[in-house]
Amino acid sequence: MFAERIRYENAAFLVFDKPAHQLVHPKKPDGSITLWHQLSDLLAYERANGGQVSVITRLDRETSGLVLVAKTRESARALHRLAKTRQLHKNYLAIASGWPEPDEFEVDQSLLRQGTVKPSRIWLKQAVHPSGYPSRTRFKVVQRFENAYGKFSLIDCEPLTGRTHQIRVHLSFAGHPIVGDKIYGPDETCYLEFIRAGWTIALAARLLLNRQALHAAFLEFTLGPDHFRFHSPLPEDLQEFRNQKESRKAAKTPR
């Protein structure tokens, strides 16, 4: 099952289609199995012969989609250089609340960690602030739809800078937060309640999805003489939400 999620592989890198809720990197020594651990096991032969596992495009735990992983020191340096110089192009699909107007818009708002300018109960929470780092995201509405819960939009998101939680904060700032976002959605207390008690019926009623509806769908870059382009379709849980006609019971989610 794990190997089937590798969308492409050559001697220099691989592209993995990460499911939602999978942690990419170890955060604390609690024994959690991460994508890095699984890839390290899968590439044990390569690592024993001078290779490495270097994640180039990281995703939040709840975000699904394409992850680019370098397999050698040389390819890691080259791919990091592409990312740093904005030659590694990434687009995401998000399901957001409401129907934005116009169909295409850009958010150009600086971001920083909220706790640096005012008290914050969530250490990693980012905020729009004039003294923050320059941050720009382009958005394009792909589809507007209504389901049992209201009006929503499927939006193509192109981050022009690479700040923490950038797409999530910018859509929330625009008045169209991502469905299921525990930090930037209805209220940050959703995140605090989730940390305290896990996924509950009350949270399901407020968030509608047990994870943020954000998917890394497109990846494009040129490495050496070769041009690469990868696409990951909208995953089943987000398709199901888009087509939902009736209210449903709370789904279970991993902690």
**What positions carry a catalytic annotation?**
60
150, 200, 221, 228 from 225: Cα distances, Å: 48, 51, 11, 10
Map residue 153 onto helix, strand or coil. strand
Rounded Cα distance, 218 and 233, in Å: 9
Rounded Cα distance, 73 and 106, in Å: 36
CB of 167 closer than 8 Å to CB of 174: no
Report which of 235, 230, 245 is spatially closest to residue 211, judged by C-alpha positions. 235
Map residue 224 onto helix, strand or coil. coil
**Sequence-separated (6 or more) residues with CB below 8 Å from residue 110:** 128, 129, 130, 131, 132, 133, 134, 135
Q: Is 231 left (phi over 0), alpha (psi -120 to 50) or beta?
A: beta
Output Rg (C-alpha) for the chain, integer angstroms. 19
Map residue 139 onto helix, strand or coil. strand
